[in-house]
């Protein structure tokens, strides 16, 4: 399920990958899940290297030095792959339960682009109430910004962790300058996003039509981060009927070099978040086979 798999290989394989920056997957002489990340090790030489499997055909060398966004650094190998994808791919799909860092890391990356490139940060989330299909766009009074208030608040803990006491000041300033936007999926018609970082949170609650409606409005100068937790679907859909699953499972995504997918597993929020994840896994299990996307496995 998009775990980082480890393989013991001869030193020559690691040396060739580091030298040439890519390597035919046949060099591993092992069955490797497609579109995944792998850790290659040679215990005899004390060597290890991370690589990304692309198109089921080749390994891409991952340069993991200096992976840092606003002081945030990877805390495990899965997060390292997540950081690398954010830096190197046009779009990243990250699966993980609450507390694994998927949203905070995405925010750190988007904020880093604001400071370094004055690239706009667009935060998008389905306006779905927990447990049902209703949304708040019509129900909450006010304009779009007012209606999105509760959803904007859900991003504030992450923004506070990254920006500290100045978070509210930066949010106000960036909104005034047009560098930060909060958008509802329902109001994406007619939008066009250039030179931005678009974060789509809670994407497991989107239909394929809704997800495509958002992604099709992003130009090549932008980066897209799609976040989802298969164990917390609020629309009543089964996991493999959701837009996130159907998009990730598509043949087009499989053969594209624009996207990488990773699953974060380690909990960093605390023991209660970990306990909740265990309870969800017990009563609402996601079949691991459902995460082996497509008929393209080796």
Question: Phi/psi zone of residue 18: left (φ > 0), alpha (ψ -120 to 50 degrees), beta?
Answer: alpha
Q: What are phi and psi of 202, to 5 degrees?
A: 55, 40
Residue 132's Cβ-count burial label (10 Å; 0-12, 13-18, 19+) is exposed
Q: What is the model's pLDDT at position 138?
A: 53
The DSSP output letter for 3 is -
Angle 13-17-18 (CA atoms, 0-180°, nearest 5)?
120
Pairing status of strand 47-54 against strand 58-61: antiparallel
Q: What is the model's pLDDT at position 285?
A: 66
The C-alpha atoms of residue 244 and residue 137 are separated, in whole angstroms, by 22
Residue 19's Cβ-count burial label (10 Å; 0-12, 13-18, 19+) is exposed
| Residue ranges matching CATH 2.30.130 in the chain | 1-62
Q: What is the model's pLDDT at position 271?
A: 78
CA atoms within 13 A on the CB side of 201: 23
CA atoms within 13 A on the CB side of 35: 29
| Residue ranges matching CATH 3.40.50.300 in the chain | 78-268+276-285
Q: What contacts 128, CB < 8 A, 6 or more positions away? A: 134, 135, 202, 205, 234, 235
Q: What is the model's pLDDT at position 298?
A: 31
- CATH fold of 78-268+276-285 reads Rossmann fold (3.40.50)
- CATH fold of 1-62 reads 2.30.130
pLDDT tens, per residue, the chain with 298 residues: 567 889 999 999 999 999 999 999 888 877 777 668 999 999 998 999 999 988 778 899 999 998 999 999 999 999 999 999 999 999 999 999 888 999 999 999 999 999 999 999 999 988 765 445 555 555 555 666 666 666 677 888 999 999 999 999 999 999 999 999 988 887 777 788 999 999 999 999 999 999 999 999 999 999 999 999 988 888 888 888 999 999 998 988 888 889 999 999 888 877 787 787 778 777 666 665 555 554 433 3
The C-alpha atoms of residue 132 and residue 125 are separated, in whole angstroms, by 15
Q: What contacts 200, CB < 8 A, 6 or more positions away? A: 124, 125, 206, 211, 214, 224, 225, 226, 227
């Amino acid at each position: 399920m998009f775990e980082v798999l480890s393989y013991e290989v001869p030193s020559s394989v690691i040396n060739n990958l580091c030298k040439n920056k890519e390597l035919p997957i046949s060099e591993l002489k092992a069955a490797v899940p497609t579109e995944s990340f792998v850790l290659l090790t040679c215990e005899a030489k004390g060597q290890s290297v991370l690589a990304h499997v692309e198109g089921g055909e080749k390994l891409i060398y991952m340069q993991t030095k200096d992976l840092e966004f606003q002081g945030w650094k990877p805390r495990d190998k899965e997060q390292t792959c997540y950081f690398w994808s954010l830096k190197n791919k046009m779009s990243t799909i990250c699966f993980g339960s609450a507390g694994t860092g998927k949203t905070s890391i995405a925010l750190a990356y988007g904020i880093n682009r604001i400071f370094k490139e004055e690239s706009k940060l667009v935060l998008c989330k389905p306006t779905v109430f927990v447990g049902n299909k209703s949304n708040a766009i019509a129900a909450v009074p006010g304009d779009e910004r007012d209606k999105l208030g509760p959803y904007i608040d859900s991003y504030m803990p992450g923004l506070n962790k990254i920006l500290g006491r100045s978070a509210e000041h930066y949010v106000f300033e960036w909104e005034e300058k047009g560098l930060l936007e909060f958008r509802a999926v329902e109001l994406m018609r007619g939008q066009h996003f250039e030179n931005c970082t678009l974060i789509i949170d809670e994407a497991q609650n989107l239909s394929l039509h809704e997800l495509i409606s958002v992604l099709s409005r992003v130009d090549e100068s932008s980066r897209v981060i799609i976040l989802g937790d298969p164990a917390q679907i609020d629309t009543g859909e089964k996991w493999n009927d959701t837009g996130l699953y159907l998009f990730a499972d598509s043949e087009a995504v499989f053969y594209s070099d624009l996207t990488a997918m990773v699953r974060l597993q380690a909990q960093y929020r605390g023991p209660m978040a970990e306990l909740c994840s265990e309870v969800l896994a017990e009563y609402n299990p996601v079949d691991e086979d459902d995460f082996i996307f497509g008929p393209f496995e080796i």
